Structure 1
Amino acid sequence: MTAPLRRSASARRPARILTAAQARGDWDVVVVGAGSAGLVASRTAASLGARTLIIEADRFGGECLYTGCVPSKALIAAAHAAHTARTAHRHGVDVADVAVDFARVMAHVRAAITTIEPVDSPDALVAKGVSVLRGRARLTGPQTLVVDGVEIRFRDAILATGSTAILPDVPGADDVDVLTNDTFWDLDTLPGTLLVQGGGPIGCEIAQAMARLGSRVVLVHRGERLLPREDAAAGDVIRAALEADGVDVRLGTSVERMAAAEHPGSGEATLTDGTSVRFDRTLVAAGRRARVDGLGLDAAGVVVTARGDIAVDDTLATSNPRIRAVGDVTPLPRFTHTAGYFGSVAASNAALGLSRRADGDGVPRVTFTAPEVGAIGVSPDDARTRGWTVVTQAHHDLDRAIADDETTGSTTLVADPRGRLRGALVIGPRAGEVLGELTTAIGAKLTLRDLASTMHAYPTYADGAWNASVQSAQKALSGGAVAFGIRLLRRWHGRRHALPHRSAR
């Protein structure tokens, strides 16, 4: 059992922004990294009374705020506005001369970041009782680390150092200023031709947005369908949507080599199918890897997986029981909401000595293309192989979708043999919002019958899930013991309340 740490004078002081020398001493919980996972972890630990220090080498807010969720959704909002104006004629509204000022679009993107930035700032953390240190941390032992040569001791630590984009390993790539989702947001000029490498959520979202903003976009993906993590139905719908917006989608191919052109960032890519693409800029969206370089994991006895992530158990503990890891630096699903949720679990375990388990089974996810793709739990394809119930409501029969003229998509629900909702796939506008109810239903172990018997406001896109559950309930009523019981009840009721016999005159 680990002996309690001696309290240094600095650790007893109120939370504040510290220098490395001021942070010297002993802490209950030290969090390394101030992205989504680290921010939630530090605030949670402090709220539970732990003397908490957070250490960040770069910007507070991490990928989500600066290079992920916030800028990408702001870009998508601008692209949606341009698309809505161009296609308003389908609603009887004519908009002439739609013009996109890309510099102003990017100013809008950066304004969104600036507006949210104070929430994740060092001052905001201090207000929540967290002490803050700027610097690069390196573990030096099971319960020690150094920043700027100063040793800091901890009872428990939480590693939340995030991830970094994977760059292409192809000849000539080093000669081209290749963009990733970390650097894409520095653009101020709309590329005439944008080559997007990767057909996952990031690649699809940015490809569609940039096409709507006026770029010629070529998207190459080595797989046979887009969004490979989702059902084939989702990939097919998104491919059709991207192509309708002008994206040149090329599946089953990838970049074989690149050559730089005269203008910075431009070049020519030779593809594995023998064709070539001249581009003004190229974006690589081929995944991300854990950021562990220089962290000193070996000195602390922290083991990494074969892929390079920090290995954790279901309580988020590493191979060193005094150190936990959360967020993109682990093999867990890489979403902002999972980072925050798991950060809270890790912090409560560290601060209170608990062994709460991190449930990674019911993780919702949304791809913010148009239409959106929202999914959670057991996929429809997987459910069919198990013989489970899969029920779909096509949006061409959904009243709100018809009114909006947005009928591409569907809502699909998955139920286990006991009728409990175990998965969902929503393709359409506001899929992320619709997914909220279904996520709650899965977490509460509700059945399709529970969903069908709950009143829903009309007309909404959430009607897709309600209609699908009603469809399932009606099918259950049409056969088997339930249908037999209904017939008996109807017969008994009819006889009991039969109209009096009327004699002939």
Structure 2
Amino acid sequence: MEQIKTDICIIGAGSGGLSIAAGAVQMGARVVLIEGGEMGGDCLNAGCVPSKALIAAAKHAHAMTTGGPFGITPTTPQVDFGAVKDHVRRVIEGIAPVDSQERFEGLGVRVIRDWAKFDGPEAVIAGNHRITARRIVIATGSRPFVPPIPGVDSVPYLTNETIFAQRERPEHLIVIGGGPIGMEMAQAHRRLGCAVTVIEGAKAFGRDDPETAAVVLKKLRAEGVEVMEEAPVVRIGGTAGAIEVEIKDGRIVKGSHLLMAVGRQVSLDGLELEKAGVDYTRKGVTVGADLRSSNRKVYAVGDAAGGLQFTHVAGYHAGIVIRQMLFGLPSKASTAHIPWATYTDPELAQIGPTEAEARKQHGDAVQVVRFEYAENDRAQTEGKTEGLIKVMVLKGRPIGVSIAGAQAGELIGFWALAIAAKLKMSAIAGTVLPYPTLNEVSKRAAGAYFSPRLFDNPMVKRVVGLVQRFLP
């Protein structure tokens, strides 16, 4: 067995692991990167990238049916489902070189393609290699969670890891799970010509603001996606091409294909964390704000750290641990400035607490301001008037933002900066933006915060009156 000594050993070549490896090796650290699966992790191969590529194809198909209001005669698109999946594969292949083993070896990283397990507090075994490291990072990500529903093992089902290889168009796709993955895939497949039924045991978009979620749900239902809420599944049966899903109230949903999209579970299997003295639960490795585990030499980032499960969080965590491991600087992770988005049409985005959460935390001290997309000129020109922005303000600063509407995933970045930099609403209201842009909904929301203070304030009117009377 080859013995390797290094500064940093990283388990997992997804977003977090790759970011740490690239940063650390280019700043002079010795780095070993271990990956038993595909370089790039879930995001590149089975998550963010392929799903957005599929959504893009679905948007093109949908555009062909909705040109009437613009004077363009609608037509029924001829969808080659296999060719759509070719597009998805090309997108993955276009990005893959950035995450490839060859690139990282070119940077000076020792890449080992095998599964890892701990062999002590500061040692890892991967294949025929035993790596001893000063610091070890667990960046193993997560995988689809398949709940133990009676009958689930008796029928074929898809997850986000397998659906992008499906080259034949499903006649009727049943989606169990009304979260971001389930709803994105539901709308995309509906636009590509599939009948789609979403079954959610609680509320669809359950972690988002109910008011903004309702905007998206209304659109999906209008496009023909059947969304069943408060519908726990009690049994799955049937055969390939003829799936049956039974709801608790006795209803039976029949379809040709089944997609399980009820959530994700952290991938810690086989690591033998006990040998390293690393505490963990089913939610992930137990870490502090500094992302260190019970073994101070071992960190966890991204999904493995048991918090928000987003690619950009893994990248953010990478910066936190690099500052500590390479420079010995104290650094702690926070979630207050972390946004997320669901790429349905219209999109749904959130940062910080929702209105209900903010009021629960801060009571009447919170002021909620809002602005409708229908009052934005660019939204009018594009025919994208469905949606709104809500901003939760505490002591003159935004603490949370909910957006439903066109390009919400882009617009939330404006507020991510504002919250991270602790900007006041006055800074946002004073920002000059090009006209006409959708981003003006953010500025107008900030303006709505000041409107009552200016236009409904008797003192302001008296001051203005005096100035007008005496100003030379």
TM-score (norm 1): 0.90
CA distance in 2, matches of 1:228, 1:435: 19
* Distance in 2 separating the partners of 1:270 and 1:486: 64
SS for the counterpart of 1:26 is strand
Matches of 1:380 and 1:182, distance apart in 2: 34
Partners in 2 of 1:119 and 1:38 — Cα distance? 13
Task: Pick the aligned partner of 1:316 from 264, 287, 291.
Answer: 291
8 Å contact kept, 1:394–1:410: yes
Equivalenced residue count is: 469
**Are 2:333 and 1:348 aligned?**
no
1:383/1:101 CA distance change after superposition, 3 Å: same
Given the alignment of the two structures, is residue 56 of structure 1 paired with residue 35 of structure 2, yes or no? yes
Q: 1:104 aligns with which of 83, 87, 91?
A: 83
Unaligned runs of 5+ in 1: 1-19, 498-505
State whether structure 2 residue 436 is matched by structure 1 residue 487.
no
Structure-2 separation of matches of 1:245 and 1:207: 11
- Structure 2: distance between partners of 1:428 and 1:239: 12
Between 251-260 and 344-353, the greater mean CA deviation after superposition: 344-353
The equivalent position to 1:395 in structure 2, one of 373, 378, 388, is 373
Q: Distance in 2 between matches of 1:121 and 1:94?
A: 45
* CA distance in structure 2 between the partners assigned to 1:268 and 1:477 by the alignment: 60
Match of 1:215 among 194, 208, 219: 194
Aligned to 1:343, the other structure's residue is in SS state helix
CA distance in 2 between counterparts of 1:96 and 1:288 reads 38
- CA distance 1:334–1:380, change in 2 (3 Å): same
Match in the other structure for 2:393: 415
For 1:80 and 1:108, the matched residues in 2 are separated by 13
1:176–1:267 contact (8 Å) kept in structure 2? yes
- 2:10 matches 1:34: no
Distance 2:152 2:358 in 1: 42
* From 42, 45, 55, the counterpart of 1:76: 55
Per-residue CA deviations over 1:87-142 (Å, capped at 9, x if unaligned) read: 11121101434211111111111110010000000111123332211111110100
Q: Does 1:247 align with 2:222?
A: no
Q: Quick one: structure 1 residues 260 and 120, their matched pair in 2 at CA, closer, same or farther if it must change by over 3 Å?
A: same
| Aligned equivalent of 1:232 | 210
Aligned partners of 1:85, 1:489: CA distance in 2, in Å?
A: 54
- Residue 383 in structure 1 maps to residue 335 in structure 2: no
What residue is the counterpart of 2:169 in the other structure?
190
Deviation above 4 Å: which 4+ runs of structure 1? none
Q: Which whole-Å CA distance do the structure 2 matches of 1:161 and 1:32 have between them?
A: 6
Q: CA deviation at 1:277?
A: 1.5
CA distance in structure 2 between the partners assigned to 1:37 and 1:265 by the alignment: 38
Does residue 297 of structure 1 match 2:273? yes
1:43-192, aligned counterparts within 5 Å? 43-192=22-171
Q: 1:496 to 1:88 in 2, by over 3 A?
A: closer
Range moving further from structure 2, 59-68 or 149-158: 149-158
CA-to-aligned-CA distance 1:291-325 (integer Å, 9 cap, x gap): 111101000000013x3411111011000000000
> How many Å separate the matches in 2 of 1:384 and 1:400?
32
> Where does 1:330-341 land on structure 2 (aligned, <5 Å)?
330-341=305-316
Spell out, residue by residue over 1:368-411, the C-alpha distance to the aligned partner (whole angstroms, 9 max, x if none): 00100111012122234422111111112221111111111001
Q: CA contact under 8 A between 1:26 and 1:152: conserved in structure 2? A: yes
Q: CA RMSD in A?
A: 1.5
Partner letter of residue 65 of structure 2?
R
What corresponds to 1:439 in structure 2?
Answer: 416
Are 2:213 and 2:404, in contact at CA under 8 Å, matched by a contact in 1? no
DSSP 3-state at the match of 1:44: helix
Structure 2 stretches lacking a partner, 5+ long: none
